[in-house]
Structure 1
Amino acid sequence: DFGTGYSNFSRLNDMAADCVKIDRSLIRDLPRSEPIVKMMIAMCKLMNVSIVAEGIENAELEAKVRELGCDEIQGFYCARPMAATSMTEHLQTGASV
């Protein structure tokens, strides 16, 4: 969850990360946090790191983060939390997450 807590730019050099998840607090605060999110996405693209936007709860928000360049989304818009057995069934029906 980049953008909160112990995450900072120098730690990205120390980790062998192939994916960065933008914290939902930044996503929830769009468009106010848009300059920060754009900067994070640009930095990840330069580092060849994929980007997950956390906290996507509707189609409008998904469209916005896709427009900004996020590769993947996570949130209630994809699916509500579920047990592993339910997840297997969910995926077997062809649902996307």
Structure 2
Amino acid sequence: MVARHGWEESYGQKSTNSEKAMSYNEFMHLPYYKKYTPIDFNMIINLMKKYTDIYVILDGKVNSPEDTRKLYKEIGNATKKLNKNVMKRLIIKTT
């Protein structure tokens, strides 16, 4: 799981293979506009642990109800052992 606003815009990340989705490793090694570091869900959680005033809206960009179930199952697994202080700052967007 990575942090990105959407996939329609490239944000300066030029993939080497335009015919398929970027792999996790490719995404993480392609800075936005050649200067901003991409981050993943674990990095966000670590920032939330360090900075207690961060709130994150989870707005998964998926294509089907099944993909939505898979995404939030992964989020559930990734957050099982989180401190309640961090959990209450993760906001799930429902619409």
TM-score of the superposition, structure 1-length normalised?
Answer: 0.37
Write 1 or 2 for the structure with the bigger share of strand: 1
Write 1 or 2 for the structure with the bigger share of helix: 1
